[in-house]
Amino acid sequence: MDNTKKSHGKNLRKGRVSLPNHAYMVTIVTASRQPIFISFTAARVAVRCFHDKDIVRQAQTLAFVVMPDHVHWLLQLEEEGNLSDVVRLYKTKVSLILRQRIWQRGFHDHALRDDEDLRDTARYIIANPLRSCLTQHIGEYPHWDTIWL
């Protein structure tokens, strides 16, 4: 790996803070963009891990979608939650269950501002399979959920 890629990951972490009760949109990408979650079984593991008791203690999942090579996750940290810790925990659980290295290092996060609507962000996240032409109707895509159903 060249130094540009190494420093880019470091730059993503600069200034990252975890604010209790704050909402974040997180994107986690598979290693080398491998389409691991094209497998229905692997995708369901990724879905189940959002509901893991250890993760639920740290963050409320507001919406998510599991795409073939990445995951989008809208979450709200609990009082004791830490963004880096909860994402690391999620990635670890998925990898351990599937018994393989799944993820590229790091993740991208966006702390939602007060003027950003949570439901609009959730709609954007769950519409990802439509924009990627994986389905023509979101109801046909099985690997997403939101609390606003």
Q: What total number of domains does the chain contain?
A: 1
pLDDT surpassing 80 at residue 2 = no
pTM for the structure as a whole: 0.88
Is residue 97 assigned to a domain?
yes
At 20, is the pLDDT very low, low, confident or very high (cuts 50, 70, 90)? confident
Among 18, 23, 12, residue whose Cα is nearest residue 115 = 23
Domain containing 124 equals 20-132
At 14, is the pLDDT very low, low, confident or very high (cuts 50, 70, 90)? low
CATH of the domain at 45: 3.30.70.1290
Q: Quick: pLDDT tens for 86-117.
A: 999 999 999 999 999 999 999 999 999 988 99
At 15, is the pLDDT very low, low, confident or very high (cuts 50, 70, 90)? low
Per the prediction, the chain carries an average pLDDT of 91
Is residue 84 assigned to a domain?
yes
pLDDT surpassing 60 at residue 126 = yes
Residue-level pLDDT at 80: 86
Q: Which spans in the chain are helix H?
A: 3-13, 40-49, 53-58, 83-98, 118-126, 128-131
